[in-house]
Amino acid sequence: MTLLYKWLTEATRAQGSAKALVYRDTYLSWRGLSHRVDRRVQEFVAMGIKKGDWVGLMLGNVPDFAILALALSKVGATVVPLDPTTGTRDLGLIMDTAPLRALITRPRGGVETQQPAPPSATGRLENLESRRRLQGTLLTCSIYKKSPIPSESAALVLYTNDSQGNPKGVLRTDENLEAAAVQTAKALEVTADDRILTTVPLYHSYGFDCGLALALRFGATLYLEDEVAPKRIVKLLREQEINVLPGTPGLYAGLAKLPTAKALKVKKPRYLSAGSLLSEATAEAFKDRWGIRIVPLYHTTETSTIACDKKEPRPGSVGKVVEGVEVRVGDGSQKNGSAEADGPIWVKSKSVARRSMPQTRARGEAVAVGGVDDKGWLRTGDVGHFDKTGRIYLTGREDQLVKVDGKRVALGEVQECLESFAKVQQAQVRVITDPLGGPMVVASVVVMGKSGPSVAEEIIDHCAKNLAPYKVPRRIEFCETLPIA
């Protein structure tokens, strides 16, 4: 049994018949959730899934995600949440490094299909032992032949991208999970009385840490939403009196555009924004429209919550360092808010994950971006500074990664995909930020022959087939020569 299931038992003992999980028109009490989890445990045991096995969950924000994750935790397996839209290339890379014993998926479009195995250098996906459907669902569990697992145990493996844009699994221990939940909850004053609405995907560290983990650890009610439809979100916020909302600048930009007759009336609102910089225009538009001030949050997959500013958020700032976390800029002469010069940001706390798959390697003696030194300091890859009040301002990255609604995108990977299309001679990719629309990937291309809307659609279709959805350019700009970078 790992920590997630322990949290469930404690919450069930304390909360009992109170609402634990709400999705659309149905809800589970804590006792009901525990009952569903125990039924799945029996099924996993019958399948031969044991303590230490790694099991992937390719699911969105649905109750089955929480139920299966908790059942795996009781078995003692390592939970590996994966984006259901992960492309064949990235899934192949994940299988090359992650010793998955099983992979649970749901059919796309409501019809189960046999997907061809992604290219895998090790042939891991070809080593299928069996495939069966989970009882009472459309979910499929594929069982693969066993492979060696890492010597260090992990309760949870959350995927992000490394500096080259390739998948990297961050190994979280029980100690990491406990520290992350306590630090975040203390900074946000989370209690069992809170109602948390998670629209950010649970397979993303931000959605997991500030949604499912907080609800489990402190017995709060978790509302799940798998479609970011602004009108529906506002209805939930108003009718269910949601007071904790992990969101992104894109979500708040969409909500700020909706017409309204009255502001939201919510006690102790903590509407969070992380993943990319929240523009002052979006923050002000949302406050004017709904009467609630957005709380900026600094969060990464390797560290969980680093900083927030619940009381006095400043434009451009991601907040002050939360209790239990240490932050330094550069060599350490600027620690927790002592100077204003830009430099690489390093983080140290019990929530910092020290291992990844594949393991982050340094060049020479230097610690690579995403790596941890021998004193426990993680090099985040972010560049920024403190102001005189101790607030952190992020100004860039050390590598070529950018963030689009919390997900890391390697521009070089997108450029290579564009230039692999027959009609594209050259490409250049950048991220722009719409003041009320958030960050998006834009591509400038030089093409052979005529350009136009139909060619742009072909290019975007090509990218959609080869890249994760958040990496696909939202706009194609044609030009005769590429602009000077």
Q: What is the pLDDT of residues 252-283, one digit of tens each?
A: 988 998 987 689 999 999 999 998 888 899 99
Cα–Cα dist 13/37, whole Å: 15
3-state secondary structure of 197: strand
What average pLDDT score do residues 467-478 get?
86
* Residue 116 in this model has a pLDDT that exceeds 50: no
Instruction: For tokens 């979280």, name the residue.
Output: 172
Take residue 132 and report the two structure tokens written for it.
């069966």
> Which residues, including other chains, have CB under 8 Å from residue 6's CB and lie 6 or more apart?
none
More confident residue, 468 or 354: 354
pLDDT of residue 435: 61
Closest to 65 measured CA to CA, from 104, 19, 17: 104
Cα–Cα dist 37/320, whole Å: 38
Contact present, 20 and 220 (Cβ < 8 Å): no
pLDDT of residue 206: 96
Say if 174-399 and 403-478 have the same CATH topology. Answer: no
Please tell me what DSSP assigns to residue 214: H
pLDDT of residue 362: 52
More confident residue, 105 or 470: 105
pLDDT of residue 339: 55
pLDDT band at 67 (very low <50, low <70, confident <90, very high): very high
What average pLDDT score do residues 74-90 get?
90
Condensed to tens digits (0 to 9), the pLDDT of residues 323-366 reads 999 999 987 655 555 556 899 999 999 999 999 988 765 554 57
pLDDT of residue 437: 58
Contact present, 2 and 76 (Cβ < 8 Å): yes
Considering only the top CATH level, what class is 174-399? Answer: alpha beta
Q: Does domain 3-172 have CATH number 3.40.50.970?
A: no
Burial class, 341, CB count within 10 angstroms (exposed 0-12 / middle 13-18 / buried 19+): exposed
Strand partners, 272: 246, 295
More confident residue, 349 or 470: 349
Predicted TM-score (pTM) of the model is 0.84
* Residue 111 in this model has a pLDDT that exceeds 50: no
Cα–Cα dist 334/464, whole Å: 43
> Which residues, including other chains, have CB under 8 Å from residue 484's CB and lie 6 or more apart?
none
Instruction: For tokens 């194609």, name the residue.
Output: 476
Mean pLDDT is lowest, of 166-170, 280-284, 408-412, for: 408-412
Instruction: For tokens 């139920």, name the residue.
Output: 67
pLDDT band at 87 (very low <50, low <70, confident <90, very high): confident
3-state secondary structure of 202: coil
Query: Does the bond joining 358 to the residue before it have cis omega, within 30 degrees of 0?
Result: yes
Show me where the domains of the chain are located: 3-172, 174-399, 403-478
* Residue 405 in this model has a pLDDT that exceeds 90: no
pLDDT of residue 10: 97
Contact present, 234 and 242 (Cβ < 8 Å): no
Strand partners, 270: 244
What average pLDDT score do residues 81-96 get?
86
pLDDT band at 422 (very low <50, low <70, confident <90, very high): confident
Best-predicted range by mean pLDDT (169-183, 339-353, 399-413): 169-183
Q: What angle do CA 432, 282, 327 make, to 5 degrees?
A: 75
Mean pLDDT is lowest, of 32-46, 185-199, 244-258, for: 244-258
pLDDT of residue 147: 78
What average pLDDT score do residues 161-176 get?
88
Cα–Cα dist 263/261, whole Å: 7
* Residue 115 in this model has a pLDDT that exceeds 50: no
Q: Average per-residue pLDDT in the chain?
A: 87
pLDDT band at 485 (very low <50, low <70, confident <90, very high): low
Alpha helices (H) along 382-474: 411-419, 453-466
Strand partners, 222: 21, 196
pLDDT band at 113 (very low <50, low <70, confident <90, very high): very low
pLDDT band at 250 (very low <50, low <70, confident <90, very high): confident
CATH-assigned architecture of domain 403-478:
2-Layer Sandwich (3.30)
* Residue 132 in this model has a pLDDT that exceeds 60: yes
Cα–Cα dist 297/206, whole Å: 10
